[in-house]
Chains A and B, each alone.
Chain A
Amino acid sequence: MTGAAACLAGFEGITVIIHGSSGCYYYPATLLHAPLRGTFIVEEDVIFGSERRLLEVIDEVSSSGTRIAVVTTCVPSILGEDIRAMLAAHDVILVDSPGFSGDFEQGYRHALRALTPLINPETNGINIDGVSLFDPFSRGNIQELSRLLLNANVPVATIFSMDKFARVRQASPYTITTNEDIAGNVGTALGSTLGLDALKTTFETIGSVIQGADTEPVIREIEREEERINHACDKYLRRFNPPRAAIFGSPSYAVFAANSLVTYLDAEITCIGSRTSVIPVVPYVVKQADGLTQVQEMIKRHEPDLVIGSSFERSVMPAAAFVGLTPPLQGQVRLTSRPVAGIFGTLSFMEDVLNACMDRRR
Chain B
Amino acid sequence: MSSNPLPSNTSRLGGCTLTGALSVTTSVSDSISIVHGPKGCSHHNFSLLHTIALENNRLNLPSVYSSGLLESEIIFGGEAALERAIAACASSSPKCIFVLSTCVAETIGDDVFSVCSMDWGVPVIPVPTAGFLGGAFQNGVLNALSTLSDGVSPGSPDGTVNIIGEKNLEFEVEENYTEVLRLLSALGLSVNLRFIHQISYDEIPQLARASFNVLRDKEVVPLGDHLKARFGMPYLESFPVGLAGTLRFLEMAADTCGVSYHAAVQDERAVQEELLADFSDLSGARIVLPPDGVSAGDGAVIREVVTALGMKIADSGLCVPMPLSPPVGTSGIRRMLHRWRRMIRA
Contact = CB atoms under 8 A, between A and B. Distances in A.
A37 interface: yes
B345 interface: no
A328 B50 contact: yes
B61 A74 contact: no
Interface stretch (A23-31, A82-90, A120-128): A23-31
**Interface size band for A:** 35 or more
By Cβ-Cβ distance, the 10 closest A-B pairs, closest first, are A23-B16, A331-B54, A99-B40, A40-B12, A21-B132, A100-B38, A37-B3, A27-B44, A57-B3, A330-B51
B51 A328 contact: yes
Interface in B45-95: 46-48, 50-51, 54-55, 59-61, 64-66, 68-71, 74, 88
A65 interface: no
Interface stretch (A172-180, A226-234, A309-317): A309-317
A316 B12 CA distance: 37
A347 interface: no
A222 B303 CA distance: 61
Contact of A79 (B54, B71, B107, B136): B107
Nearest to A45: B12
A93 B107 CA distance: 26
Contacts of B104: 74-75, 78, 100
Contacts of B50: 311-312, 315, 328, 330
A291 interface: yes
A36 B14 CA distance: 17
B147 interface: no
Nearest to B54: A331
A292 interface: yes
A23 B19 contact: yes
Interface string B2-41: 1111000101111111110000000000000000011111
A85 to B, nearest CB: 21
7 contacts: A23-B18, A29-B5, A30-B48, A31-B47, A37-B4, A43-B133, A75-B104
B224 interface: no
Contacts of B103: 21, 74-75
A91 interface: no
Interface residues of B, number: 50
Given A23-B15, A78-B104, A42 B61 contact: no
B131 interface: yes
Given A26-B15, A74-B102, 13 more contacts: A23-B15, A23-B16, A24-B16, A24-B132, A37-B3, A37-B4, A46-B107, A61-B1, A61-B3, A75-B132, A78-B107, A99-B38, A312-B46
A353 B4 CA distance: 42
A99 B39 contact: yes
B108 interface: yes
A43 B65 CA distance: 26
Contacts of B107: 46, 74-75, 78-79
Interface in B87-146: 88, 102-104, 107-108, 131-133, 136-137
Given A17-B3, A46-B107, A74-B103, A40 B54 contact: no
A46 B133 contact: yes
Interface string A59-82: 011000000000000110011000
A79 B74 CA distance: 11
A74 B137 CA distance: 18
Contacts of B16: 21-24, 26
B108 A78 contact: yes
Given A17-B3, A23-B19, A315-B50, A99 B41 contact: yes
A170 B127 CA distance: 52
B19 A78 contact: no
Nearest to B135: A43
A148 interface: no
Contacts of B71: 100-101
B162 to A, nearest CB: 29
A290 B42 CA distance: 12
A27 B46 CA distance: 11
Given A78-B108, A100-B40, A328-B51, A22 B14 contact: yes
Contacts of A117: none
A64 to B, nearest CB: 10
A331 to B, nearest CB: 3
Interface in B268-289: none
Nearest to A18: B3
Contact of B132 (A1, A23, A101, A314): A23
A293 B91 CA distance: 13
A148 B71 CA distance: 44
A72 to B, nearest CB: 13
Contacts of A17: 3
Given A43-B132, A99-B40, A328-B50, A60 B12 contact: no
A40 B51 contact: no
A21 B131 contact: yes
A27 B128 CA distance: 22
A57 B132 contact: no
A318 B3 contact: no
A40 B15 contact: no
A1 B3 contact: no
Nearest to B40: A99
Contacts of B108: 78
A38 interface: yes
Contacts of A1: 40
Interface in A2-43: 2, 17, 21-27, 29-31, 37-43
B257 to A, nearest CB: 39
A31 B44 CA distance: 9
Interface in A328-349: 328, 330-331
Given A22-B12, A46-B107, A46-B133, A311 B54 contact: yes
Interface in A212-226: none
Contacts of A312: 46, 50, 61
A297 interface: no
Nearest to B134: A43
A88 B1 CA distance: 23
A291 B11 CA distance: 34
A330 B54 contact: yes
A2 B40 CA distance: 9
A134 B245 CA distance: 43
Contacts of B4: 37
Q: Which of A1, A22, A38, A316 has most chain B Cβ within 10 Å?
A: A22
